[in-house]
Amino acid sequence: MKLTKAKLEKILTPSLESMGYIHFKDTISGFQGLFVKKVYPDLFLTLGLTISRYYEDSFTGSFYLSKTTRIGSVWGDIPEKCYERVGFLLTEEEMKNYRDGDSCIKDIWWRGLVAASVDDFLFCVKQCEPRMCNDMILRKQIEESIEIKKLHDYSVKVVEIVDNLPKSKKYEFLPQKEIDDIPIKWFMAAEEVLYSTDAILNKNTVKDLASDSFIRYKMR
C-alpha cells in the first residue's frame, strides 16, 4: 500500500501533538507534513516529513531550529546545522539498530504503514529533539546570524501590520485564493514588508513569508 501525505499526517499527528508540536496545513514548504514547536521565547523547532520517491511506504523527518519556521533556509550565514535529518543526531551506539551489513546508515527511512517503525521514529524524535535544541554552539550561531535576523524581523513586521494595511494599495504577487487556510491579508502584508525593505519580491517569497508569519502568529 502506498503511503500518502494524508495517511502519514493522520498516523503521526496525535503522537506529535502529545509531544508539544502543532500541525500546520502546508503545501508551500514542499514537505509531506509540517509540525512546529516553540522551544524558547523566540526559537522554533520545525519538523518536516518527507515521503520517499523510491519506496512507497517509507518516510523520514528533518528538524529545523531557528527564529523562523521557514524550514530548509540555510543560505548566507545561516548555520547548516540548523537543518538536520533526525537520524544524523543519533549516536554511533544508537545507530547499531540501523546497520546495513558493515555500514552505518544515518539517513534513516522509516516505514509509515508499520506500527513498530512509526513508534521507532517517534522515539528517535523524542530522543534527538533535546540534542538539537540544547546545542549551545548552534544557538549562538543562530543568534549571531544576520540572515536569520532579517527573516525574523520580516515575520515580526508582517504580524504587526497585517490588520492595518493600506486599502488603496495594489498588490502584484497575491495568490488567487487562500493557501493552507491562510487569509489573503497575510500575503498582502508579506508583500508590503518585502517591498518596503527592498528584499527579493516574487510570488514564492511572498508565500514563504506569509506562511512563516501566520505560523508565528498562531504560536504566540
Q: Report residue 107 as a C-alpha cell.
A: 539517513
Residue type at 38 in one-letter notation: K
Backbone CA torsion sign across 91, 96, 98, 102 = positive
Q: Report residue 49 as a C-alpha cell.
A: 516529513
Q: Report residue 12 as a C-alpha cell.
A: 503521526
Per-residue pLDDT, 135: 97
Q: Around 213, how many Cα atoms within 13 Å sit in the side-chain half-sphere? A: 32
Q: Report residue 15 as a C-alpha cell.
A: 503522537
Per-residue pLDDT, 118: 98
Sketch the domain layout of the chain as residue ranges. 5-144, 146-218
Per-residue pLDDT, 201: 97
Question: How far apart, in whole angstroms, are the C-alpha atoms of residue 25 and residue 217?
Answer: 15
Contacts of 77 (CB under 8 A, 6+ apart): 144, 145, 146, 147
Per-residue pLDDT, 169: 82
DSSP state of 68: S
Per-residue pLDDT, 99: 65
Residue type at 99 in one-letter notation: R
Per-residue pLDDT, 95: 87
Q: Report residue 63 as a C-alpha cell.
A: 528538524
Q: Which long-range contacts (CB under 8 A, 24 or more apart) does 178-183 make?
A: 179/27, 179/28, 179/207, 179/210, 179/211, 180/24, 180/25, 180/26, 180/27, 180/28, 180/211, 181/25, 182/210, 182/211, 182/214
- 61 within 8 A of 50, measured Cβ to Cβ: yes
Backbone CA torsion sign across 57, 63, 67, 70 = negative
> Consecutive sets of 10 residues in the chain, 220 residues long: mean pLDDT of each?
96 98 97 97 96 94 98 97 96 81 70 96 97 98 98 98 88 96 97 96 98 97
